[in-house]
A = this chain, B = another copy of it.
Amino acid sequence: MDLRALIMAGGIGTRFWPLSRKQRPKQFLPILSHKTMLEETVARLLPRLQPEHILTIADERLTQIIRTFLPELPAENTLIEPEARNTAPCLLLATAHLYLENPEAVLAVLPADHSIQDTDLFMQRILAGAEAAATGNRLVTFGIPPTYPATGYGYIRFDLTSSARFQNSSFYSVREFKEKPDPDMAQKFCEAGTYYWNSGMFLWQARVFARQIEKFAPELHAHWDALLDAVSRRDPALICEVYSRLPATSIDYALMEKSQGVLMGEGDFGWSDVGSWSALSEFWPADEQGNAVRGKYVFIESRNCLVYSPKKLTALIGVQDLIVVETDDALLICPKDQDQKVKDLVASLRKKGKDEYL
């Protein structure tokens, strides 16, 4: 089995502002441990994959930082996304690279900024998914058993009665991809037991992917040969030219939702997309008052706060459930239950032309 991993490292991660910046998005931050999320993503794979079989993709401005954090990967494994056109063009390009090397190879598409608790189980599931992807003309995805009625994720409806086993892991036939639901719908999805969160993790064989887009995504397939040609010539200008004509859409919309026979593996390995500051409360150790702090501190009558202030002493008096983040040029203070507004704040900075803070 020729398994390769593609780490999607181009995310912007505005929800971790002011720590995450244009030049240093979330995946390059050591917010879960002393390692960056990108390094952790690679570390999960290394016991089973050779460094030369791990690829990353992101726009050019992030190339240098990726290579700095992943010196063990060959430089040519850092693929460049010519422009931001959503996930479909990006994955078409990455799969074209793989196809030219070995059409039989299986690609595992993995986000660079997710947390996985049980890394052994994760690799077991990925290897099983790779087998599932290699043994049938089908795409494989991973669904996460929901732990609460989330409205921030898409859902995958699957057929519980259609279980297939690969290497002791269960896979189910996908019935339908669902957009982010409203709260009532999310509640129903959760109770049904046949809706899992769409994790954004996929597996496919290069050859199968080519066949699948031919059948289900003709607007992608229309550029496939031109893209293969450009990649085989190693001609960046030509790649950019073809890329600019690809439909700017997601792989879910362009292919996954339309494909037939998609299999969903069970993502039961303790997944989290660590979507915002308050999510870190689950990962950082807390003191007896529930305060999770990176940095020196002295608190009076303060509870359940999350503080990132590694360079100075933070003194809190009489506050609860507050997020405090201090960087060299900015300071954020926000109640935990309002941290989804951090991205509005970043949007407002952008609108005001305060680019130095983006």
A: which residues have CB within 8 A of B? Answer: 17-18, 298, 300-301, 309, 312-319, 322, 324, 326-335, 338-339, 341-342, 344-345, 348-349, 352, 354, 357
Assess whether B335 is in contact with A298, with CB atoms less than 8 Å apart: no
Residues of B within 8 A of A335 (CB): 317-319
Please report the C-alpha to C-alpha distance between residue A314 and residue B312 in the assembled complex, in whole angstroms: 16
Specify which of A319, A331, A332, A335 lies most central, judged by the most chain B CB atoms within 10 Å of its CB: A331
Assess whether B329 is in contact with A313, with CB atoms less than 8 Å apart: yes
| Contact status of A341 and B318, CB under 8 A, knowing A298-B349, A357-B313 | yes
Assess whether A332 is in contact with B315, with CB atoms less than 8 Å apart: yes
Contacts A18-B313, A317-B332 aside, 19 further interface pairs with beta carbons under 8 A come to A298-B349, A300-B344, A300-B348, A301-B338, A301-B341, A312-B327, A312-B329, A312-B330, A313-B330, A314-B333, A315-B333, A315-B334, A315-B345, A316-B333, A317-B334, A317-B345, A318-B334, A319-B322, A326-B326
Residues of B within 8 A of A313 (CB): 18, 329-331, 354, 357
Distance in Å: Cβ of A17 to nearest Cβ of chain B: 8
Distance in Å: Cβ of A30 to nearest Cβ of chain B: 21
Distance in Å: Cβ of A33 to nearest Cβ of chain B: 24
Residues of B within 8 A of A345 (CB): 298, 300, 315, 317
A-B contact pairs, 20 of them (CB 8 A): A18-B313, A298-B348, A300-B345, A300-B348, A312-B330, A313-B329, A313-B331, A313-B357, A315-B332, A316-B333, A316-B334, A317-B332, A317-B335, A317-B338, A317-B341, A317-B345, A318-B341, A319-B322, A319-B334, A319-B335
Please report the C-alpha to C-alpha distance between residue A322 and residue B298 in the assembled complex, in whole angstroms: 18
Please report the C-alpha to C-alpha distance between residue A123 and residue B316 in the assembled complex, in whole angstroms: 41
Closest to A330 in B: B313
Residues of B within 8 A of A309 (CB): 331
Please report the C-alpha to C-alpha distance between residue A334 and residue B324 in the assembled complex, in whole angstroms: 12
Please report the C-alpha to C-alpha distance between residue A182 and residue B326 in the assembled complex, in whole angstroms: 40
Please report the C-alpha to C-alpha distance between residue A298 and residue B344 in the assembled complex, in whole angstroms: 11
Assess whether B319 is in contact with A333, with CB atoms less than 8 Å apart: yes
| Contact status of A333 and B330, CB under 8 A, knowing A313-B357, A317-B341 | no
Residues of B within 8 A of A298 (CB): 345, 348-349, 352, 354
Please report the C-alpha to C-alpha distance between residue A326 and residue B324 in the assembled complex, in whole angstroms: 12
Specify which of A18, A300, A317, A352 lies most central, judged by the most chain B CB atoms within 10 Å of its CB: A317
Distance in Å: Cβ of A342 to nearest Cβ of chain B: 7
Closest 5 CB pairs of A and B: A317-B334, A318-B338, A313-B330, A315-B332, A314-B331
Residues of B within 8 A of A333 (CB): 314-317, 319, 322, 324, 333
Please report the C-alpha to C-alpha distance between residue A242 and residue B182 in the assembled complex, in whole angstroms: 80
Please report the C-alpha to C-alpha distance between residue A332 and residue B312 in the assembled complex, in whole angstroms: 10
Please report the C-alpha to C-alpha distance between residue A265 and residue B315 in the assembled complex, in whole angstroms: 41
Please report the C-alpha to C-alpha distance between residue A222 and residue B71 in the assembled complex, in whole angstroms: 80
Residues of B within 8 A of A332 (CB): 315, 317
Distance in Å: Cβ of A296 to nearest Cβ of chain B: 9
Distance in Å: Cβ of A307 to nearest Cβ of chain B: 9
